[in-house]
């Protein structure tokens, strides 16, 4: 096995190695295929970036999300039944974005009330694939001799509810934000350079990786509504009136998923169905719309 030889190489080389592993897994894994099609992929080529495990933003999340939200140090320590202080000095978080394939996005654009089978399968089988990727990275890192854990797969992962709706103790979008992969939006999706129609994931490790810069001006700067009060296309797209100028009403969104379209679980034979209509037929579907509108203006 060649893997152990990579241990101890310079950070930039290790970063390329990890990114390469994620990309190869996505392009070769049979789990990245939609079951009812001949061989259609679920996700396109990913975006992969890194955060410093002790970045102060992770402590800020205890205020922004909830006191129960774990820091990477707590998340890794709990996976090994140790205390955060027992963990090595340097920790990193690997965060990735899995853009949803073109055909699936196009299919959902034609819908006004329910998600297509392709979209529902992307939620169900796509998340199974995302879990497989999480496990794959943890295995590789362990094989090279590093500590690693995917918090979502740990028994301590939990989702709680307050009056604003559900929140978890490891929010993948906030992790991706910390790794400089995008910003939040009016519809609350994370707008990346590949847009909002994606799923995301992460792994914490003691492998030292170079932290990716967070270049966004503020946590909402990729959304047209927050930059120049324009767009609002996601408000029109949402069949549950869950998105307004005040933001995303998680309770309304969840009620739509759990009541109005719950019958689709049986029809599509999946365990959960979310409509995701706010993520297609919108300017932020597959790109950063703010960058796009700037380049349109600059090109006259």
Residues that bind ligand B12 (CB under 6 A): 64-65, 123, 130, 152, 159, 165-168, 170-174, 177, 184, 187-190, 196, 198-201, 219, 247-248, 250, 253-254, 257, 274, 276, 278-279
Structure tokens at 109: 């654009």
Phi and psi angles of residue 245, each rounded to the nearest 5 degrees, phi first:
-60, -15
114 binds ligand SF4 (CB under 6 A): no
The residue from 94, 100, 233, 264 that contacts ligand SF4 (CB under 6 A) is: 233
123 contacts 98 by C-beta, under 8 angstroms: no
In whole angstroms, give the CA distance from residue 187 to residue 244: 8
CB-nearer residue toward ligand B12: 125 or 177: 177
**Contact partner at residue 240 from ligand B12, ligand SF4, none, CB < 5 to 8 Å by partner kind:** ligand SF4
The structure tokens 């679920």 sit at 42
Instruction: Count other Cβ atoms within 10 Å, centred on residue 52.
Output: 20
231 binds ligand SF4 (CB under 6 A): yes
Question: In Å, how far are 97, 187, 189, 213 from 64, measured between CA atoms?
Answer: 22, 17, 16, 21
CB-nearer residue toward ligand B12: 201 or 289: 201
Q: How open is the CA angle 180-183-188, to the nearest 5 degrees? A: 145
Phi and psi angles of residue 180, each rounded to the nearest 5 degrees, phi first:
75, 25
The residue from 44, 95, 276, 288 that contacts ligand SF4 (CB under 6 A) is: 276
**Contact partner at residue 219 from ligand SF4, ligand B12, none, CB < 5 to 8 Å by partner kind:** ligand B12
- The contact mask relative to ligand SF4 for 126-165 (x = CB under 6 A, - = no) is ----------------------------------------
CB-nearer residue toward ligand SF4: 99 or 289: 289
Structure tokens at 35: 């079951």
CB-nearer residue toward ligand B12: 31 or 65: 65
**Contact partner at residue 168 from ligand B12, ligand SF4, none, CB < 5 to 8 Å by partner kind:** ligand B12
CB-nearer residue toward ligand B12: 92 or 222: 222
238 binds ligand SF4 (CB under 6 A): yes
The residue from 277, 280, 281, 286 that contacts ligand SF4 (CB under 6 A) is: 277
Q: Decide: helix, strand or coil at residue 238.
A: coil
134 contacts 96 by C-beta, under 8 angstroms: no
In whole angstroms, give the CA distance from residue 124 to residue 102: 17
183 binds ligand SF4 (CB under 6 A): no
The strand ranges marked E within the chain are 47-52, 92-99, 148-149, 159-162, 165-168, 198-205, 243-244, 247-248
**Contact partner at residue 65 from ligand B12, ligand SF4, none, CB < 5 to 8 Å by partner kind:** ligand B12
Q: Which of 145, 142, 53 is nearest to 92 (CA)?
A: 53
Interacting residues with ligand SF4 between 56 and 75 (CB under 6 A) = none
**Min dist. Cβ of residue 116 to ligand B12 (A):** 11
In whole angstroms, give the CA distance from residue 218 to residue 234: 20
Q: Which of 175, 156, 203 is nearest to 58 (CA)?
A: 175
The residue from 18, 144, 200, 243 that contacts ligand SF4 (CB under 6 A) is: 243
Interface ranges with ligand SF4 (CB under 6 A): 185-187, 223-225, 231-234, 237-238, 240, 242-243, 248, 253, 256, 274-278, 282-284, 289
């Amino acid at each position: 096995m060649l893997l152990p030889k990579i241990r101890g190489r310079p950070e930039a080389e290790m970063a390329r190695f990890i990114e390469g592993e994620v990309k190869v897994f996505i392009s070769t894994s049979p789990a990245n295929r939609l079951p009812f099609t001949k061989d259609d992929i679920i996700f396109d080529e990913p975006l992969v970036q890194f955060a410093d495990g002790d970045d102060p933003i992770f402590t800020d999340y205890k205020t922004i999300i909830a006191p129960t939200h774990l820091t990477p140090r707590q998340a890794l320590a709990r996976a090994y039944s140790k205390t955060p202080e027992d963990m090595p000095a340097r920790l990193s978080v690997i965060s990735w974005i899995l853009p949803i394939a073109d055909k699936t996005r196009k299919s959902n654009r034609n819908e006004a009330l329910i998600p297509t089978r392709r979209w529902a399968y992307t939620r169900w089988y796509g998340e199974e694939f995302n879990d497989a990727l999480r496990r794959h990275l943890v295995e590789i890192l362990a094989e090279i001799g590093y500590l690693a854990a995917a918090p979502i797969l740990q028994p301590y992962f939990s989702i709680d509810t307050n009056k604003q709706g559900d929140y978890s103790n490891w929010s993948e979008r906030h992790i991706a934000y910390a790794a400089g992969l995008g910003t939040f939006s009016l519809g609350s999706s994370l707008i990346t350079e590949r847009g909002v129609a994606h799923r995301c994931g992460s792994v914490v490790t003691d492998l030292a990786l170079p932290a990716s810069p967070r270049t966004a001006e503020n946590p909402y700067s990729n959304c047209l509504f927050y930059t120049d009060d324009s767009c609002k296309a996601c408000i029109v797209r949402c069949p549950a009136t869950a998105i307004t100028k005040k933001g995303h009403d998680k309770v309304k969104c969840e009620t739509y998923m759990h009541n109005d379209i719950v019958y689709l679980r049986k029809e599509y034979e999946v365990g959960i169905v979310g409509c995701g209509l706010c993520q297609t037929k919108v300017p932020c579907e597959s790109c950063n719309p703010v960058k796009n509108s700037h380049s349109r203006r600059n090109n006259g």
